[in-house]
Amino acid sequence: MTVDGAQLWTLNQRLLSVVMDACTEELADLGLETKEFFVLAEVAASPYPAEIAVALLLPKASVTVYVRNLVAKGFIRREIDDADLRRHRLVLTTEGAEARDRALAALAAEYDRRLARITPQDRTELQRILQQMLSPG
């Protein structure tokens, strides 16, 4: 018998909601809104607003807002890209990198609380499966 995709999806969806909800307060303590955190965490991999928008499936206008906030909070810094003067290269500040790491740790801790219920073997399994499902194509 095949596993029901919709059911599986709902299950997964709910899991992520619950974990994120549990972390919202800790993120706030670090001075981060949920959406802002996602942007902050993406800066290292995608240092330009346009790239972040694509990576996170967010409208450009929204990224503008989150970046503005993150700059105001001193978590990131804008630099002008010498190669393309329209671009704002985003750079993590020391505080930004620290906040991001702490936020990721908090998230991992909560997720780990869930992961702890399954065996290490299952965790490796899970990672492999998700990676496979997410791979481009």
Partner DNA sequence: CTGTATTAGTTCCAAGCTGTACCAGTATCG
Partner DNA sequence: CGATACTGGTACAGCTTGGAACTAATACAG
CB 83 within 8 A of CB 47: no
Measured N-to-C along each axis, helices 34-42 and 5-29 cross at an angle, to the nearest 10 degrees, of 90
Q: Which of 35, 73, 77, 102 binds DNA (CB under 7 A)?
A: 35
Which of DNA, a copy of itself, none binds 68 (CB below 5-8 Å, type-dependent)?
A: DNA
Q: Is 107 in the site for a copy of itself (CB under 8 A)?
A: yes
User: What x/- string results for residues 47 through 86 when contact with DNA is judged by CB under 7 A?
Assistant: -xxxx------xxxxxxxxxxx---------x-----xxx
User: What x/- string results for residues 1 through 40 when contact with a copy of itself is judged by CB under 8 A?
Assistant: xxxxxxxxxxxxxxxxxxx-x-------------------
* # of chain residues touching a copy of itself (CB under 8 A): 49
For residue 100 the two structure tokens come to 């991001």
Task: Tell me the closest approach of the beta carbon of residue 62 to DNA, in angstroms.
Answer: 4
Helices then strands, each counted (H, E), the chain: 6, 2
Q: Which of 56, 65, 71, 91 binds a copy of itself (CB under 8 A)?
A: 56
- Please tell me whether residue 80 adopts helix, strand or coil conformation: strand
Q: How far is CA 64 from CA 42, 94, 99, in A?
A: 14, 21, 20
> Phi, psi at residue 79, to the nearest 5°?
-130, 150
Length of the chain, please? 137
For residue 125 the two structure tokens come to 């399994």
Q: Rule CB under 8 A: which residues touch a copy of itself?
A: 1-19, 21, 41, 56-57, 104-105, 107-109, 111-112, 114-115, 117-118, 120, 122-127, 129-135, 137
